[in-house]
Amino acid sequence: MTTNSTGESRPSTAGRLWIRQFHPAPQARMRLLCLPHAGGSASAYFALSKELAPEVEVLAVQYPGRQERRNEPLLDSIEELRDGVAEAVTPWLDRPIALFGHSMGAVLAYEVARLLCRDGGTPPAHLFVSGRGNPALGVTMPLDELDDRAMIKALDDLGGTDMGLLADEDVLRMVAPAIRSDYRAVRTYRHAPGPLLPCPMTALVGDADAMAPVEEVDKWRAYTSADFRLEVFQGGHFYLSNQFQKVGELVYDRLSYSLSM
């Protein structure tokens, strides 16, 4: 991160590509890096950013190949996405930072947290993993191998997309490659054993999530040596989309506790 003539911080080129700030909060004591689900974009966290500002500054990740990054090459592995996010967020580590990821974003947040802790680095203040079970348990649903319409239909069954996409061939052709690339990253991810994370962790899940049963989400407790909490909300895999106020309150409560320690 650089500074301009007034002394205000400005993100690096990588930060401008990967990081979105919907509600800048220069006086916030804590930042929260939010990583979207497969096929998702930074705008998925606009509502959470609004809930947490100005006490917490939300940094929402924008993956390549979507919205204003639609002309960039897609990355179809968790490792490539992890490395891109970690490089982009490095200039923002001048304040305590927590990570929040949903579904694919949960695994990605976990891997970024591991990378930040490597070689004596400063661990995140907190890790929030949402809508994803035990990372060592691979995802076998080959959504990326379905044709466009079947893939979007499968996502609609989870409540995660707009079936209007099926009626608009141009929109379908535009969004399908990014969704397919993300689900290939999810399917090919293999967890590598390593040290436990030293930061507190909160796992969140919908009580009717077919992709992430509560008992599997609870297994995240085995990946941290610090405090672990499991929070169950009403809803399915995309419970988050209409419960940002409740989730925001929970996140703020956890981060306030981390700051007080």
Name the residues annotated as catalytic: 103, 237
Radius of gyration over every alpha carbon of the chain, rounded to an integer in angstroms: 18
Residues 184, 145: Cα–Cα separation, whole Å: 8
Q: What is the DSSP string of 186-205?
A: HHH--PPP-PPB-S-EEEEE
40 closest CA partner among 86, 105, 100: 105
**What are the phi and psi torsion angles at 42 (to 5°)?**
-55, -35
What angle is formed at CA 43 by the lines to CA 85 and CA 79, rounded to 5 degrees? 25
The 3-state secondary structure of 159-190, one letter per residue: CCCCHHHHHCHHHHHHHHHHHHHHHHHHHHCC
